[in-house]
Structure 1
Amino acid sequence: MTHTTDRRSILRTAGAGAAALGLSGVLASCDTGGTGKARKPRTVTLTLWDYFTPANFQPGLNALIAGIEAHVAGVRIRRRAIPFADLVNALTLAAISGDLPDLAIVDNVSMSSLGGNGLLADLTSRVKSWGQARAYYPGPWASCQIGGKTLGIPNNSNCLALYYNTSMLHDAGVTPPTNWDQLADSARRLTTRNRFGLAMSAIRTEEGVFQFLPFLWQSGGDLDTFATSGPTPLAFLKNLIDKGSLSRACVGWTQEDVNARFLSRRAAMQINGPWQIPVLRKAPFEWNVVALPRDKTSATCLGGENWVVLATSDHLDKAWQVLEYTQRPSVLVPYLESLGELPARKDLAHTGTWTSDPVLNLFLKQLAIARPRLYGPHYADISEAVAKAEQAVLTGSASPSAAASAAAVKIDKALG
């Protein structure tokens, strides 16, 4: 933001005037208002943008904000929640209009694009002085490193696993699947006139790609071989739809939509993350969770968000104080527990409910095989190509081979 007054000129003028008058107490009196009593720190309002729109996230975020305002001197927080798919675009447009927030909580895969555009403040020197970088798991911390600079602090970690309705599986004589063949067979046997065996998100956003990538990795493939390895997971998911085990409507489902189907018993199994646990605890039926079924190998996708400070903020020091406060174990543990998220800090692995809760502990253990989406500054183009290919196959407008080949052209270019 532009300042119309040169602060250094003001200080030089004030200093010269004080020296000329020989009034050594003039500048000091500015801090006390002439009363001899120290003034309270000037209160600044920091704007915060995030995409935590679900209702179950609000109590934890409200408690965190209340804690910030109570313990970070002179800070008030004005929060704006934006839908997941719109946050990065909103930040980009705000950069043009000059109305960026001070702080944001963003998907860790958005770091490259935001950092590459110069929107994020460089926190490298502050982090070095802070001295806590080694407390974080390598994957989440690596997502904050762009161009040799630290541009964020991990907010949380998560990954995907397979939830199942225990009574539905028991009644159908099905055990929780551990591989693709079992997953396909279980989903078929659990499908009835009123429910699907499996629910997952295949929406044309990063949510859908987040859920698709584990299938690609489990098959032994990766994005740099998508033309040849992409058809296998695409064909597997299309087969689930063709057999009626997975709804065609999944191409429009967010992960919240998927959980809603599971809660309403319209799906016997679902692929989802630990952030759904606070809502699922209130379900009127028993459920459990297992690792994602494997093919050639086991894999899940590392998810999570990072705290960032926008480079245009007029209050960088206060914003950094907020980040430091959020990372205190006494603050971070209850915050993560309320959201159903996992710690990005190694030193918290044995603290919190994830140590004693078998469901959360399953997710925590899966972090060991969770893969980050570190595919360079053009990942957004890669994600779009993968999402388009999955949509084309699941809607029947292209074969797995044709869709994968078309996507690979764009992916290879983005990988560069």
Structure 2
Amino acid sequence: MGDVEVFRSFKPAALAVAFCLVLAIFSCKHTDSSAPKDSGVSIICDYTGNSIRVGESLDLTVEVNDAQPSAYTCKWSVTKGSAKTTRSDLRSYTVTPRQAGKLEVMVEIAMVSNPSDVRSATRIINVRALTDSDTGKVDIASLLSESVMSSIAEALQAGGEWKSDKGYVTVDSNGVLTVSKEDDAEDEISNGTVTAQIWAVNGEGQEVEGSRIFVEIPKYVPVESVAIQYSDGNAVSPSGVSLIPGKEVSLEAVVSPEGASGKIVTWKLIKDGNVEPADVASVSADGRLKGLLLGGAAKLVAMAGWNKSFSSKSVPIRVEANKIFIPAPVEGQAGRTMTISTGSSQKIAFDVAESVSISDMKSDDDAIAETDVGSSCISVNGEGNDGKLVIVTLTLDYGAESATETIELIIGKEIKPQSIRASNMEVHLGRPVKPAFTYNP
């Protein structure tokens, strides 16, 4: 009787042990040992954020908790959209993305002692573009692959559009992303760098695969001051810039602080007297200032900044009328012709490039246009000579070469002023109009 009681009390425990043994055997027989395992494998990055910029290099290493590096082999794969690249037998891997978007990095390790023991880890890396701090723009085509851009184009043609999680970040029909220079944008990015997301959707509102881009907008730094100087670094006199018609000087604007947003400089001429600025001088986008034949006074303004935080600097300019600057001729050139309208009786002086001298001046009618080679001047008598044409020939010496300039003078205010061009010179005498004569040597 006692033996029976002992057996009865032992029976449940024995059954439990037997059940566990059977379950363990069954599990071993039906486990796929080649299936990837995430436990114990990590991808270590040398950055702390959740994204990197286009063109930045990111060093990745693998770490296995229960094994030394010599105990396993590695296989890396990086997937961007539908494109996938793989590298094998590397303990570390450096990624340098050339396009914005989302990268999926996966590493698989296989134990040397048991190749069927395969484990893996995956990490998602967002690659962000960087907008230009001066323009607030970036070209989308430079950030995405051709295949993705083609898919986006098809979606847009079918009624799709670009979306953004920031109201002041937009993409135009040419694929240019722009950060709007409005108060809400300026206020937000003044507090620090902002990362925005944009993506394209088709006509049904579905996101185009691979179109999502992370865009970094640098912290906004206001322009505090703008200074104007000559391009060789010399300062502009407080009295301003003096020119003669046809002469050109190169200026540059120095924007402070050095890291300011919106450093692109806009040049313009404003009125300073009775003469229109366009009659006094011209200025190019890169700060090349040229005097025109009518002459007079104006103000040159350099402006830089963003939205409500513009800064500007102006300097007075004066162009001495009734002078013409003649640049050095092109070597071997036979001659050039310039046509001008004098408008009335006046004295016209010629100034030449440093390497050039005027050795002779001849007029075909001294009664109307009298030449003086010593002072490099022509005295024009306009009284009673309206509409007449006088030809003056200048002989120019430069080095061992010589060349001629032919000046055609049309007398009289009723003759429309002519725009003239000789070599790199473009000057006007009288009110500028659409060029009636253009000379390209």
How high is the TM-score relative to the length of structure 1? 0.20
Q: Indicate the structure with greater helix content.
A: 1
How high is the TM-score relative to the length of structure 2? 0.19
Q: Indicate the structure with greater strand content.
A: 2
Q: Which has the larger radius of gyration?
A: 2
Flag the structure with more relative contact order, 1 or 2, with Cα contacts below 8 A and sequence separation at least 6.
1
